[in-house]
């Protein structure tokens, strides 16, 4: 009987404990069969030896490579920064300065890391717009999920949580600066070269989709849309715990930083099955793209750039590339007619997207297919 081919195990080393933390984490995930290092290297534009060398000197990774690495390993930016260590601090600072200067980047004020769980909870709650139709219910749902997380972890519930819940139920809290809800109005783009903000969105979407594909999910692949069980497995991979609340018939979601070890995805218990499919993918996109951070919790509704990235990542799987190719070849649709067709599908899936927002996401979906084949 021929020998069964198996993946060769990496020989033990006496100084394995001295390896950089990210390298140890990568090796452990490979040994557990959770990922293929070759696919991770390809997502970063490297070969395997170059990847291992880069992890030994973390300052060599640029921002896009760090985002792809964090997505493959299921790490948010705060955790990734801690694992990169102080050697990468100058590179991190310079890349963040460059990102802030880029025309398509989201400008963020510097915010220190929260000093306690209570402070993190308050920041997370205040990031949710109380004026949104589901804002008050989402705030209470986050606090309920935090309380359950503390009990499951065997931790004491902070006293501040109960006081914060009473404040939410009473007079409206002062909120963080309200960002524009991109889903309400999205003007039709004029013909001509693609604007820089669209290029940035497509670049971020490509990195996020590649990170999800590296996780072995088949996301936006030949057999897309991915089965719900695979999406739930991806949510667990990115440490997202699903919590339902009566938010109404909407696909809106709230994604929090890690609370007692797991981030919280709040979605509506009154949503349709299709809206839940959209909501799960939007939340997964926010987590994989690194939009959720402890120092600045993701606002809800999300800022325009993050909202466009997450919606496009969701639509990339729900309306996969092979479907667009089929429409072009068999139905002989032009690009404008194809965009309208995708917009109708997006509006039907989401249920509560305005036509302007559905067509904006559809326009980006077609642009992603034309530029990157995704």
pLDDT digits (tens, 9 = 90+) for 262-286: 889 999 999 999 999 999 999 999 9
This model's pTM is above 0.85: no
* Sign of CA pseudo-dihedral 359, 364, 367, 372: negative
**Of residues 66, 20, 68, the one with CA closest to residue 42:** 68
Write down the domain spans for the chain: 19-93, 117-169, 196-372
Confidence class for position 244, pLDDT limits 50, 70, 90: very high
What is each CA distance from 235 to 87, 111, 112, 232, in whole angstroms?
A: 31, 27, 27, 5
Sheet containing strand 254-255, edge to edge, reads 240-245, 263-268, 254-255
18 pLDDT above the threshold of 70: no
Task: Put residue 65 in one of left, alpha, beta given phi > 0 → left and psi -120 to 50 → alpha.
Answer: alpha
pLDDT at residue 175, rounded to an integer: 52
What mean pLDDT, rounded, does the chain reach?
Answer: 78
Sign of the C-alpha dihedral, residues 312, 373, 225, 340? positive
Q: Tell me, what's the pLDDT at 102?
A: 32
Q: What tens digit of pLDDT does each residue of 340-351 get? A: 999 999 999 999
Q: What is the DSSP letter of 60?
A: G
End-to-end CA distance of the chain: give it in Å, rounded: 42
Measured in residues, the chain has a length of 374
CA distance 351 to 271: 9
pLDDT of residue 315: 95
- Which helix (H) or strand (E) covers residue 245, if one does? strand 240-245
To the nearest 10 degrees (0 to 180), the angle between helices 196-214 and 355-372 is 70
Angle at CA 34, nearest 5°, toward 374 and 25? 110
């Amino acid at each position: 009987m021929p020998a069964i081919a198996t993946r060769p195990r990496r020989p033990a080393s006496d100084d394995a404990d001295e390896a950089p933390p990210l390298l140890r984490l990568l090796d452990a995930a490979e040994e557990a069969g959770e990922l293929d290092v070759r696919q991770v290297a390809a997502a970063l534009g490297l070969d395997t030896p170059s990847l291992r060398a880069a992890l030994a000197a973390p300052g060599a990774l640029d921002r896009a490579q760090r985002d792809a690495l964090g997505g493959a390993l299921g790490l948010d930016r705060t955790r990734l920064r801690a694992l990169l260590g102080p050697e990468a601090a100058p590179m991190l600072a310079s890349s963040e300065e460059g990102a802030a200067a880029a025309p398509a980047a989201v400008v963020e004020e510097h915010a220190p890391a929260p000093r306690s769980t209570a402070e993190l909870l308050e920041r997370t709650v205040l990031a949710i717009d109380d004026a949104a139709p589901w804002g008050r219910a989402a705030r209470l749902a986050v606090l309920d999920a935090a309380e359950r997380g503390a009990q499951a972890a065997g931790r004491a519930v902070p006293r501040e949580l109960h006081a914060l819940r009473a404040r939410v139920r009473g007079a409206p809290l002062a909120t963080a600066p309200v960002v524009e809800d991109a889903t309400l109005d999205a003007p039709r783009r004029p013909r001509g070269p693609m604007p820089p903000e669209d290029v940035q969105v497509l670049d971020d979407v490509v990195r996020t989709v590649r990170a999800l594909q590296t996780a072995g999910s088949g996301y936006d692949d030949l057999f897309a849309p991915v089965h719900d069980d695979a999406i739930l497995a991806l949510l667990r991979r990115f440490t997202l715990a699903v919590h339902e609340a009566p938010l109404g018939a909407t696909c809106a979601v709230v994604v929090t930083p890690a609370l007692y070890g797991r981030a919280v995805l709040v979605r509506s218990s009154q949503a349709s099955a299709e809206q839940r499919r959209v909501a799960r993918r939007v939340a997964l996109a926010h987590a994989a793209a690194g939009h959720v951070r402890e120092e600045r919790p993701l606002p809800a509704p999300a800022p325009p750039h993050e909202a466009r990235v997450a919606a496009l990542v969701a639509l990339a799987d729900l309306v996969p590339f092979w479907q667009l190719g089929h429409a072009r070849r068999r139905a002989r649709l032009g690009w404008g007619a194809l965009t309208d067709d995708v917009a109708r599908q997006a509006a039907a899936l989401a249920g509560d997207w305005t036509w302007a927002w559905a067509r904006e996401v559809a326009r980006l979906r077609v642009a992603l297919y034309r530029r990157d084949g995704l």
